[in-house]
Amino acid sequence: MGTAPRRSSVSPSRAQSRRSLSVRAAKTENGPTIAIAGVTGAVGQEFLRVITERKFPYSNIKMLASARSAGRQYEFEGETYTVEELTEDSFKGVDIALFSAGGSISKKYAAVASAAGATVVDNSSAFRMTEGVPLVIPEVNPEAMAGYRAGGGGIIANPNCSTIIALVAVAPLHRLAGVKRMVVSTYQAASGAGQAAMEELELQTREVLDGKPVTQNIFPFQYAFNVFSHNSPMTDNGYNEEEMKMVKETHKILGTSDIRVTATCIRVPVMRAHAESINLEFERDISEEEALRALAAAPGIQVADDRAANWFPTPLSVSHLDDVFVGRVRRDYSRDDARGLNLWVCGDQVKKGAALNAIQIAELLL
Ligand SMILES: NC(=O)c1ccc[n+]([C@@H]2O[C@H](COP(=O)([O-])OP(=O)(O)OC[C@H]3O[C@@H](n4cnc5c(N)ncnc54)[C@H](OP(=O)(O)O)[C@@H]3O)[C@@H](O)[C@H]2O)c1
């Protein structure tokens, strides 16, 4: 193998210090009224943090969850908000409704919210593949939501978290050399399955270390000190739903079903942030240097690829960060030509895979 190319290497720990730590209130009279359906959950809580970090303007926030949480109070940007039960009447006067309460709740209430004039940004899988519903990663296909505005109604879908993290990295390379085939293996964190899954991982870890039997409520396998196939339902073709989402959503977002995609989705006992190994085949030769240049220039990406130190992104080092981190950019030597590359990609899926991506969509509505 030749000399390693010169690499733009940004360390996630250094990048961490760039994070916006501002807590300046984004409340403003002229801002939209926002509703967060599922505010008590992992993504719902992240919405609040991202609104503050990005100073997303709002005049009021309606905090919605199930009847179980009604009456719960949150301090947010100096004000006290009381969680209300999500009902059909929740969306009067709402301009932007952020949904993260699960697919069945989105199916039941997103159309109601849209009819009331709210523009819905939905984190569930309920409408992702519905014709006419834009499926948007703002760095990749913002044009898909042209014409949508806050208060104008309609539903925009946030893609699956693993798909977002993969495509933020893959899209610039696709534009450069045309991706023909993508083989992806995911290493998915507990946070992707919500607050209760994170609690189960923590509890089981303590139980194993204490020599106690493990409590299993969320996953079909012991999660602590284990690795297993993604817990989404199995489909007829032997792939689980998470894997098929990566196939179908990639086609919809990149606007072509010519790219052959195959995925293996795995849960790993990591609290937060997903990692993915991605093998790409291109229509033409592509060098590591070209790929690194395109990645470094693309929005939402940081290249962290230090071969000399054998140092690359990890879920821990990218947790709570906005960008998708790409490392281990290397030629696929199983091929006789120079049309193959391997990448290692890490991204915080509660953030870029869910709340941040949705708020970026909401920014495009203003
Ligand atoms: N976690 C991720 O990284 C991620 C990434 C992409 C997409 N998503 C999607 O985002 C959605 C939420 O995920 P999550 O991880 O935040 O889950 P979570 O932590 O389990 O939170 C679920 C939220 O939904 C609310 N909810 C449940 N039943 C409800 C009902 N009948 N009426 C109103 N609200 C109800 C819960 O309220 P209570 O507290 O009152 O029960 C809670 O606020 C899911 O569709 C998920 O697939 C998640």
pLDDT of residue 26: 84
- Nearest-CA residue for ligand 1 atom 12 is 100
The tens digit of pLDDT for each residue in 14-47 reads 344 333 334 456 899 999 999 999 999 999 999 9
Measure 258 CA to ligand 1 centroid, in angstroms. Answer: 33
Over residues 92-111, the mean pLDDT reads 98
Count of CB atoms situated within 10 Å of the CB of 217: 9
70 CB contacts (<8 Å, ≥6 apart)? 83, 84, 85
Residue 156 in contact with ligand 1 by CB distance below 6 A: no
pLDDT at 9 over 60: no
Catalytic residue list contains 274 = yes
User: From CA 270, how far away is CA 57, in angstroms rounded?
Assistant: 33
User: From CA 314, how far away is CA 139, in angstroms rounded?
Assistant: 22
According to DSSP, the residues that pair with 341 across neighbouring strands are: 280, 331
pLDDT at 61 over 90: yes
- Which of these is catalytic: 161, 174, 265, 346? 161
Residue 66 in contact with ligand 1 by CB distance below 6 A: yes
Backbone angles phi, psi at 260, to 5 degrees: -85, 125
Q: How does DSSP classify residue 47?
A: H
Which residue, among 109, 161, 158, 117, has the nearest Cα to 138 in the 3D structure? 158
280 pLDDT tier (thresholds 50, 70, 90): very high
pLDDT of residue 4: 37
Residue 86 in contact with ligand 1 by CB distance below 6 A: yes
CA 128 to each of CA 56, 144, 252: distance values in angstroms, whole numbers, following the listed order:
24, 13, 9
Residue 40 in contact with ligand 1 by CB distance below 6 A: yes
pLDDT at 239 over 80: yes
Catalytic residue list contains 265 = no
User: From CA 300, how far away is CA 141, in angstroms rounded?
Assistant: 13
Outline where DSSP puts E strands in the chain. Answer: 33-37, 60-65, 73-76, 79-82, 84-85, 96-99, 119-122, 155-157, 179-188, 228-229, 260-267, 274-282, 301-303, 324-331, 340-347
The tens digit of pLDDT for each residue in 297-342 reads 999 999 999 999 999 999 999 999 999 999 999 999 999 999 999 9
Q: Ligand 1 pocket test: pick from 50, 63, 66 the residue with the most ligand atoms within 8 Å of its Cβ.
A: 66
Measure 334 CA to ligand 1 centroid, in angstroms. Answer: 42
- Which of these is catalytic: 174, 265, 274, 346? 274
pLDDT at 79 over 50: yes
Measure 116 CA to ligand 1 centroid, in angstroms. Answer: 22
Q: Give me the helices (H) in the chain, please.
A: 12-16, 42-53, 103-115, 161-177, 195-209, 241-254, 288-297, 315-318, 356-364
The tens digit of pLDDT for each residue in 260-272 reads 999 999 999 999 9
The tens digit of pLDDT for each residue in 117-145 reads 999 999 999 999 999 999 999 999 999 99
Count of CB atoms situated within 10 Å of the CB of 59: 14
Measure 42 CA to ligand 1 centroid, in angstroms. Answer: 7
Percent of the chain exceeding pLDDT 90 equals: 93
Percent of the chain exceeding pLDDT 70 equals: 93
pLDDT of residue 329: 98
Measure 60 CA to ligand 1 centroid, in angstroms. Answer: 21
User: From CA 327, how far away is CA 255, in angstroms rounded?
Assistant: 26
pLDDT at 69 over 70: yes
The CA dihedral of 138, 140, 141, 145, to the nearest 10 degrees, is: -10
User: From CA 359, how far away is CA 230, in angstroms rounded?
Assistant: 27
Residue 106 in contact with ligand 1 by CB distance below 6 A: no
Count of CB atoms situated within 10 Å of the CB of 145: 21
The structural domains of the chain, ordered by start, are 19-158+355-364 (3.40.50.720), 162-350 (3.30.360.10)
pLDDT of residue 21: 38
Ligand 1 nearest-atom number relative to CA 126: 45
According to DSSP, the residues that pair with 156 across neighbouring strands are: 121
Q: What is the mean pLDDT of the chain?
A: 94
Angle between helices 241-254 and 161-177 (to 10 degrees): 40
Place of tokens 């505005």: 149
pLDDT of residue 25: 61
Over residues 263-282, the mean pLDDT reads 98
Q: Ligand 1 pocket test: pick from 40, 72, 100 the residue with the most ligand atoms within 8 Å of its Cβ.
A: 100
The tens digit of pLDDT for each residue in 147-194 reads 999 999 999 999 999 999 999 999 999 999 999 999 999 999 999 999
Which residue, among 2, 339, 337, 317, has the nearest Cα to 179 in the 3D structure? 339
